[in-house]
Amino acid sequence: MGDPAAPVGDSTRSVHAGRPAARAYEPSLPGPVFVSHYHLPGEPTGPYVYGRDDNPTWERLEAAVSELEAPGEQDVTTAVFASGMAAVAAVLLSQVRAGQTVLLPSDSYQTTRALRERLESYGVRVRLAPTAGDAQLAALEGVALVWLETPSNPGLDVCDIRRLADAAHTAGALVAVDNTLATPLGQRPLALGADFSVASGTKALSGHGDLLLGYVATRDPDLAASVRYWRKTVGAIPGPMEAWLAHRSIATFALRVDRQCANALALATALQDRPEVTGLRYPGLPTDPSHALAARQMRRFGGVVSFTLPDRAHAERFLAALRMTSEATSFGSIQSTAERRARWGGDAVPAGFIRFSVGIEDAEDIVADVLRALDEAAK
């Protein structure tokens, strides 16, 4: 993309990130490389040795993500994984040893918290504290790694990454931030002091609801090497087709995220006056409890809105009445999706709690569909 430090916009960067220089008669994004082994004469020195170790399709995607996570910087390394949880597990399980302590958000993505049992079985102590109010500050003593998730999923609370990272580093701890909901276009954890930025590429990064992917980005070469070694030894590698599809999709990343954020704000605004809606959360809403902090550290506020309806039955009627929104447990897709989050268990949310992932449909159509479904559910 020419000079990587040149000040270009997010859409320009998204279109060109990780793509090779133009060459006559070649595609702008070479197709996926399907390979298990390479021709390897002599000593096995690479650059490509074995399909579980390296793949040029991954490398192009990793270069693209690095450009998005830290524009203009040359020292960021990204490793892509088979899923978001593979990336989460790679950090937590590669960086902590028996006898050490990990601090997790008590309101983080429930499958991240489900790793507690595995960590404890390896002799790692796990401490929990909520996201809101930077509550993890009071629990840093003796911690080896602090995990942040901001905005949190599904409650959409926000914590101060810079403040927590500075305090954690003073206490001798590493800091990892799950940036899935914010995306690197909304928030750049490495610039705010985090050691790791981790995300599920299944969500908004790839954005079409048709693949599983995850990644870990870091500035520290030793941390990068340890995460890559973990990927190699446990085999948590992405398929080349998934990596290529994700890279292809990044070209529209900024367009999609801008539309989703605008639509999410429109929906949150429309829900403010509904008497049956309580606990409305969207960090981009000026009245949201996290808005002031989110506005300081986020460039975009994401495409997820959460709110609570009176009870389970009311929420189920609402979801059933939606005409253009699928019931799905993921978020970040071009298509609007919603779910009653309590159906899974594991999250401390009311029975009528709705997590609504806003797509790229026309805002007026999304709002009209939701308000009509709310009217029907109230009958």
Radius of gyration of the chain (CA): 21
Q: DSSP label at 288? A: S
d(CA 126, CA 101): 6
At the fourth CATH level, the homologous superfamily of domain 253-377 is Aspartate Aminotransferase, domain 1 (3.90.1150.10)
Backbone angles phi, psi at 199, to 5 degrees: -155, 155
d(CA 321, CA 12): 39
Per the DSSP assignment, residues forming a β-bridge with 50 are 37
Q: How confident is the model over 272-299, as a mean pLDDT?
A: 98
Cα separation values, 345 from 110, 114, 163, 349, 350, Å:
9, 12, 31, 9, 10
Per the DSSP assignment, residues forming a β-bridge with 178 are 149, 198
d(CA 377, CA 307): 15
Side chain identity, residue 355: R
pLDDT computed for residue 3 by the predictor: 54
Q: pLDDT band at 1, cuts 50/70/90?
A: low
Q: How confident is the model over 323-334, as a mean pLDDT?
A: 95
> Which contiguous run of DSSP H or E holds residue 145?
strand 145-149
- Non-local (6+) Cβ contacts of 106 within 8 A are 113, 128, 129, 130, 348
In 3D space, the residue among 199, 237, 240, 175 whose CA is nearest the CA of residue 29 turns out to be 240
**Alpha helix segments (H runs only) across the chain:** 10-16, 56-69, 84-95, 110-113, 115-121, 161-170, 221-234, 240-250, 253-271, 291-297, 312-321, 363-377
Q: How confident is the model over 295-308, as a mean pLDDT?
A: 98
CB atoms within 10 A of CB 117: 9
pLDDT computed for residue 141 by the predictor: 97
In 3D space, the residue among 32, 37, 34 whose CA is nearest the CA of residue 60 turns out to be 32
Q: How confident is the model over 81-104, as a mean pLDDT?
A: 98
d(CA 254, CA 249): 10
pLDDT computed for residue 52 by the predictor: 96
Distance of alpha carbon 88 from its chain centroid, rounded? 10
% of the chain surpassing 90 pLDDT: 96
Q: pLDDT band at 6, cuts 50/70/90?
A: low
CATH code for the domain defined by 10-250: 3.40.640.10
pLDDT at 2 over 60: no
CA end-to-end span of the chain: 56
pLDDT computed for residue 115 by the predictor: 97
Label residues 19-36 b or e (16+ Cβ within 10 Å = b): beeeeeeeeebeebbeee
Q: How confident is the model over 214-232, as a mean pLDDT?
A: 98
Label residues 222-260 b or e (16+ Cβ within 10 Å = b): ebbebbbebbeebebbbbbebbbbbbebbbbbbebbbbb
Tally helices (H) and strands (E) across the chain.
12, 12
The segment(s) of the chain belonging to CATH 3.40.640.10 are: 10-250
The segment(s) of the chain belonging to CATH 3.90.1150.10 are: 253-377
In 3D space, the residue among 177, 160, 157, 331 whose CA is nearest the CA of residue 257 turns out to be 331
Distance of alpha carbon 13 from its chain centroid, rounded? 19
pLDDT in tens, 151-170: 999 999 999 999 999 999 99
pLDDT computed for residue 5 by the predictor: 52
pLDDT at 179 over 90: yes
Q: What is the pTM of this model?
A: 0.95
% of the chain surpassing 70 pLDDT: 98
CB atoms within 10 A of CB 316: 17
pLDDT computed for residue 44 by the predictor: 87
Percent of the chain that is helix, strand, coil (3-state, to 5): 40, 15, 45
pLDDT computed for residue 7 by the predictor: 80
pLDDT in tens, 37-60: 999 999 988 899 999 999 999 999
In 3D space, the residue among 113, 110, 111 whose CA is nearest the CA of residue 126 turns out to be 113
